[in-house]
Amino acid sequence: MSVRKLKPITPGQRFRVVNGFDAITTDKPEKSLLAPIKKSGGRNSQGKMTMRYKGGGHKKRYRVIDFKRNKEGVPATVASIEYDPNRTAFIALLNYQDGEKRYIIAPNGLQVGQNVVSGSGSAPEIGNALMLSDIPLGTIISCIELRPGQGAIMARSAGAFAQLMARDGKFATVKLPSGETRLILANCMATIGAVSNSDHQLIVSGKAGRKRWLGRRPRTRPVVMNPVDHPMGGGEGRASGGHPRNRNGVPAKGYRTRTKTKASNKYIVERRKK
């Protein structure tokens, strides 16, 4: 994986840094694993805008990803590593020995032709999916379930990884990408290795139009709004805007919004750093 800095032959390319796409092996997705995506433009079923700054963007189709890895004991060969417009990570197409095809989130270092397998008894090698109870302590993992059978919901974005720290009874202690250390049931699944495309954080758009291609419309800063529109709006001249807060007046930057009586608080061993 690498990034390329473009020559400034146009204003939009002056500071642009793009992905090298070295790991990508094909530009044609598997047709049987595509699904349509309907755009909402930020509107709800009544046609009212409930999410601002959304709309437009390039037309794309959803790649159906296997987050559960529940095809246990059946070996699969990695057919290709592909780009997915719906996420920052790359995806891998698996051809199972029984003929089925599935997409998974591609871990860093996964190669075409490599064999992967999921379920108990699998070796703790890159791309394999095991229960936390079967993974050696200290292993780098990603695509972690929070409830058994739910499917991976944590450490799924480009370059993300967690670390299995300890096990005690039916719980495993995992250090998450945010820095939080948390107890997770040991019979939850996780994939060995960090998520691919770790250079995603180095990418520089270069121009506003690339945000429009991604379906993001121009965002108005709260400081330039009127008082009727935002708590930080108004004032004579260039007013600072006062204390940072959201549209509903809830303070931002340091104010804790997590419920003190939340049921899952008891599973958090160490909070993430501010």
Instruction: Please report the domains of the chain, with CATH numbers, ordered by start residue.
Output: 3-201 (2.40.50.140), 223-269 (4.10.950.10)
Cα–Cα distances in angstroms (integers) from residue 253 to residues 8, 19, 145, 224, 226, in the given order:
36, 31, 29, 19, 22
Cα–Cα distances in angstroms (integers) from residue 16 to residues 8, 58, 90, 137, in the given order:
8, 19, 21, 41
- Which pLDDT value is given to residue 195? 97
| Low-confidence residues of the chain: pLDDT under 70 | 1, 274
CA distance 187 to 72: 14
- Which pLDDT value is given to residue 1? 64
- Which pLDDT value is given to residue 240? 87
Cα–Cα distances in angstroms (integers) from residue 258 to residues 85, 255, 264, 271, in the given order:
32, 9, 11, 11
Residue range 84-101, pLDDT digits in tens:
999 999 999 999 999 999
CA distance 127 to 111: 10
- Which pLDDT value is given to residue 241? 86
In this structure, the dihedral spanned by the alpha carbons of residues 125, 129, 134 and 139, taken in order and rounded to 10 degrees, is 50
CA distance 104 to 100: 13
**Closest Cα partner for 36 from 56, 55, 63?**
63
Residue range 143-193, pLDDT digits in tens:
999 999 999 999 999 999 999 999 999 999 999 999 999 999 999 999 999
pTM (predicted TM-score): 0.92
* DSSP percent split of the chain into helix, strand, coil, nearest 5: 10, 30, 60
- Which pLDDT value is given to residue 123? 93
